[in-house]
Amino acid sequence: MSLNVAQIREQFPILHRQVHGKPLVYLDNAATTQKPQAVINALTDYYTQCNANVHRGAHYLSDEATRRYEAARKTVAEYINASRQEEVIWTSGTTEGINLVANGVAQRLKTGDEVLVTEMEHHANLVTWQQACKRSGATLKVVPINEDGSLNTEQFHALLSENTAFVSMPHISNALGTINPIKELTAAAKAKDALVMIDGAQGVAHGAIDVQDIGCDFYAFSGHKVFGPTGIGVLWGCYEVLKDWPIWLVGGEMIATVSYQDATWGELPNRLEAGTPNIAGAIGLAAAINWLRQYDAADILAHETALLARATQLAEQTDGLTIVGHAAKKIGVLSFILDGAHPADIGFLLDKQGIAIRTGDHCAQPLMKRLNVPGTARASFSIYNTLDEVEMLFEGIKKARLMLA
């Protein structure tokens, strides 16, 4: 059954506002998604009904806040098919999750070890590993992309060796939209006894994730990419790997005993969650997942695929427009460049028409250099976008071109 997009849009108050006197056409979903009323209500309800600090509370509000906070963890664990909810570590987002893992890896790597990443990385999943290799004397290796923006899987397999200690790769490229065959690549890396991390920032909003099916050791994502609040994210880790992972931050919540001279650490998940957590953010993220789960993942994918297909068709009909990233398997991301126009100018002129896209290097500077472009203009679609909005995007591009001529 197809999605009732009109009914979905009614649940997003922001989509009914105007910008520059024009109806908002929000096509920047790879940067962050908008929030349904259900998420807004969950945040309001928390702060008006049971705001308190969690764990070891001595009063009703703290107990209620703790119940909702840990229920949120359970919701996330079910959504990603974690084997146990202690594998779900709350973070501030994908970036922190990857840093937490890289901090541990850096302590274990030695000279001669190799870390494998790809040419399509977001800086969060590249600079982290660069620094881990610099700190440890390990070698960073980069798997190339093909001309269509897909990953060169032959080179991936060729670069894997007995020296490969760690592989980190994106589920989906934020700049190109490429969906990587992470299950196949993870299996190949595990066959070499490498640990595997998936940068899942762009993966979670397009249907449920199954971390056990993927077979990776870590999967990180951000709440704001899946209709949840900013400032909350998840690092999932396989329990057997995560339970002894090097401590990332120290302080309250994560200790077992403390003396003036030393301390011992608590159990998962608390040992990797120092300080007062983002309680509201966790509850808001669970509300987002519960909201999303009411829609069939296949219907979401079909809808976004239809939007991308129409956008690609119109792009191919637009003189002087070059699509950047046209892998066979993509989510609803259309990166493009326009002859004679800087991406920033395109974004500026579209904004004046109420159309929100993102321009620049998308935190993937090495990728832009590899593609020999200064940056791109990127439209990214979500469950609440419509075919009319795709048409408005290309009407807007035509107007922008006339203004730039």
Ligand X SMILES: Cc1ncc(COP(=O)(O)O)c(CNc2co[nH]c2=O)c1O
Residues known to be catalytic: 363
Residue partners of 263: CB distance under 8 A and separation at least 6: 250, 255, 256, 257
CA gap 242, 89 in Å, rounded: 10
Among 124, 235, 242, 393, binds ligand X (CB under 6 A): 124
Q: Per rule CB under 6 A, is residue 174 in the interface with ligand X?
A: yes
Q: Per rule CB under 6 A, is residue 382 in the interface with ligand X?
A: no
Q: Do the beta carbons of residue 347 and residue 25 sit within 8 Å?
A: no
Residue 104, CB-side half-sphere exposure with 13 Å CA sphere: 21
How many residues of this chain bind ligand X (CB under 6 A)?
Answer: 16
Q: Per rule CB under 6 A, is residue 229 in the interface with ligand X?
A: no
Q: Per rule CB under 6 A, is residue 303 in the interface with ligand X?
A: no
Smallest distance from ligand X to CB 112, Å: 28
Among 29, 33, 136, 222, binds ligand X (CB under 6 A): 222
Q: Per rule CB under 6 A, is residue 278 in the interface with ligand X?
A: no
Closer CB to ligand X, 303 or 358, in the complex? 358
Q: Do the beta carbons of residue 150 and residue 201 sit within 8 Å?
A: no
Q: Which range touches ligand X (CB under 6 A), out of 87-95, 284-292, 311-319, 346-354?
A: 87-95
Q: Which range touches ligand X (CB under 6 A), out of 10-18, 197-205, 339-347, 366-374?
A: 197-205
Distances (CA, A) of 150 to 5, 119, 180, 326, 335: 30, 10, 7, 8, 14
Closer CB to ligand X, 65 or 72, in the complex? 72
CA gap 165, 361 in Å, rounded: 29
Q: What is the DSSP string of 151-181?
A: B-HHHHHHH--TTEEEEEEESB-TTT-BBP-
The binding track of 25-54 with respect to ligand X, each residue x by CB under 6 A or -, is: -----xx-----------------------
Q: Per rule CB under 6 A, is residue 358 in the interface with ligand X?
A: yes
Closer CB to ligand X, 125 or 353, in the complex? 125
Q: Token pair of 153, please?
A: 């899987």
Smallest distance from ligand X to CB 147, Å: 21
Smallest distance from ligand X to CB 124, Å: 4
SS3 of residue 235 by DSSP: strand
Phi, psi of 326, deg, nearest 5: -135, 55
Q: Do the beta carbons of residue 273 and residue 90 sit within 8 Å?
A: yes
Among 8, 100, 101, 201, binds ligand X (CB under 6 A): 201
CA angle 100, 185, 130 (to 5 degrees): 40
Q: Per rule CB under 6 A, is residue 93 in the interface with ligand X?
A: yes
Q: Which range touches ligand X (CB under 6 A), out of 110-118, 119-127, 256-264, 293-301?
A: 119-127
Closer CB to ligand X, 75 or 174, in the complex? 174
Compute CA 393 distance to the chain's CA centroid, rounded to the nearest angstrom: 24
Residues forming contacts to ligand X in the complex (CB under 6 A) are 30-31, 93-95, 122, 124-125, 170, 174, 199, 201-202, 222, 358, 362
